[in-house]
Amino acid sequence: MNMFETKDGTSIFYKDWGTGPVVTFSHGWPLSSDAWDAQMLFLGMQGYRVVAHDRRGHGRSGQTWGKDNMDQYADDLAELIEHLDLKEIAMVGHSTGGGEVARYIGRHGNARVKKAVLISAVPPIMLKSESNPGGLPMSVFDGIRAGVAGDRSQFYKDLSIPFYGYNKPDAKISEGVREAFWRLGMQSSIIGSYDCIKAFSETDQNEDLKKIEVPLLVIQGDADQIVPIDDSGRLTVKIVKNARLEVIPGAPHGLCTTHADVVNQHLLTFLKS
């Protein structure tokens, strides 16, 4: 397995496939880089070098205590990029991974980045407040914490239903997809999963978005039940100067799986533009 060690001694697992222009992928919670299989296979076969890592506390990477926050996630990504000496990168992030991409640019700049893509991403900020009235109340995230701290195995099985929009009347449910979501979730550490909830819900990334100077594509479904589009994607394109929003009708939060063909074509078109 490809592994490297961060400055604080944490082992990070990563995939590095293919040759050509570089595309990095940052995954959502509580998953791992395996969640990008459809995109990495497709783009790899289109002549791109595809790189994805398991965030600390998730998948095959090391498990730490008290270090699962957006700053650390972004710094780990920066160390991976420096470790592989990647340049002119197209950075892609889904959900929490979108926050990771935005915070990377916010902390480490645009120098190594050529383009960026945020898919169903958590920025600007998910938590409801006086300055963010369209956000979700703290009770929602407290409920997620209770689910993880209680019976997280059952919680992940239940969460897979709205994650992939399988509670819609016309949904074609894949039990294989649900089982894969559960498997990847259970590979994460319980503390990593628990602390990441605060990271993805309470991190204010308005200033990070303002620092994005490269072309940005935002992809989101209008049926996203996890990260509502009105308080995420539609706000993001108003903040980032050179940003464009592609709305996929009827697509859920887990659209990289349920609508992989559509997402892949949007990515390829943007990468070639």
State the CB neighbour count (10 A cutoff) for residue 266.
17
- Token pair of 154 as six digits: 């059952």
> Is residue 104 within a helix (H) or strand (E), and if so which, with residue range?
helix 96-108
The residues annotated with a catalytic role in the active site are: 95, 224, 253
* 3-class secondary structure, 219: strand
Counted residue by residue, the chain has a size of 273
> Is residue 26 within a helix (H) or strand (E), and if so which, with residue range?
strand 22-26
Give helix 70-84 / helix 96-108 axis angle, nearest 10°. 70
Cβ atoms of 20 and 45 within 8 Å: the answer is: no
Residue 103 falls in which region: left (phi positive, over 0), alpha (psi -120 to 50) or beta? alpha
Cβ atoms of 233 and 217 within 8 Å: the answer is: no
